[in-house]
Amino acid sequence: PAPVRIRGLSKTYRVGFFLNKQVKALQGLDLDIAPGQVYGLLGPNGAGKSTTIKILMGLVRASQGEALLFGESPDRPHVRRQVGFLPENPSLYEYLTGREFVTLAGRIFGLSGQELDQRVTRVLGEVGMGRASDLQIRRYSKGMVQRTALAQALISQPRLLVLDEPTSGLDPLGRRQMRDIILAEREKGTTILFCTHIISDVEALCDRVAVLVGGKRVQEGSVQELVSAR
Ligand code: ADP
Ligand code: ADP
């Protein structure tokens, strides 16, 4: 089954003091992501990108439609274990070092001993946090926090990586580093869902892209098709 399959997905949030108003965040979204694809979900603020990702991660319940990971519901623990998630503003324990934080994530995943140590060292190296991982997280730049959070997402060797605005708020160097890490991960054959409002990131990284506006898909295709349609 495909890493991601979404059909007729809708989400209406109730807002206002009496929960008497509605925000239609998603209105009948369809999305298919094949193995090994780097798939961009592109759209302006409020388009419904985060809501899509939160439903896929089992953090928000859909109002209608279905969202499947590898053909199964995101609620199933064995499915979730195959997915690495980088949230938009990851919160890390400030007083741990990056290495301690990623080690903790590995332990929660069920790793231990030498295997845990080796995997922690490898993912920290992959995200360029070799030496800096011995500093406390409260001393990190935003880019270092993002890369440590990505190392945490990679510790389980996920088949699917879901990235919510991984480059937003980073300086040009930080953005470049994040892009290079994503490209390296793509070389390994990992399927990646990449949500952003930055079109140049999509051009640099993605095989296919869906453009979301107002909770609806307004375009879908290869990056070439998208660029020539402009
Ligand atoms: P994006 O990630 O593309 O910026 P979101 O999925 O965050 O879009 O938001 C889509 C719409 O849903 C926006 O109008 C947003 O204000 C609204 N929304 C998102 N989360 C909530 C929430 N928890 N409660 C109410 N409205 C929300
Ligand atoms: P994004 O749109 O990029 O997800 P936001 O700043 O819009 O980021 O949202 C930050 C958080 O607030 C998210 O958890 C989102 O679900 C929630 N949120 C967004 N819009 C609303 C809203 N109108 N009412 C309540 N919560 C909201």
Q: How much is the pLDDT for 229?
A: 67
Rounded to an integer, what distance in angstroms lies between the CA atom of residue 99 and that of residue 102?
5
Is the CB of 45 within 6 Å of ligand 1? yes
Nearest atom in ligand 2 to the alpha carbon of residue 46 is 2
Structure tokens at 21: 């108003």
Nearest atom in ligand 1 to the alpha carbon of residue 165 is 2
Nearest residue to 193 (alpha-carbon basis) of 7, 76, 56? 56
Q: How much is the pLDDT for 168?
A: 85
**Nearest ligand to the C-alpha of residue 44?**
1
Nearest atom in ligand 1 to the alpha carbon of residue 50 is 2
Q: Whose CA is nearest to atom 7 of ligand 1?
A: 50
Q: Whose CA is nearest to atom 4 of ligand 2?
A: 50
Neighbouring CB atoms inside 10 A of 134's CB total 12
Q: How much is the pLDDT for 230?
A: 58
Residues of the chain with pLDDT under 70: 229-230
| Dihedral angle of Cα 177, 183, 187, 190, to the nearest 10 degrees | 100
- Whole-number Å distance, alpha carbon 13 to ligand 2 midpoint, is 11
Do residues 85 and 57 make contact, with C-beta atoms less than 8 angstroms apart? Answer: yes
Q: How much is the pLDDT for 223?
A: 86
- 178-204: per-residue pLDDT in tens? 999 999 999 999 999 999 999 889 999
Is the CB of 47 within 6 Å of ligand 1? yes
Is the CB of 50 within 6 Å of ligand 2? yes
ipTM of this complex: 0.75
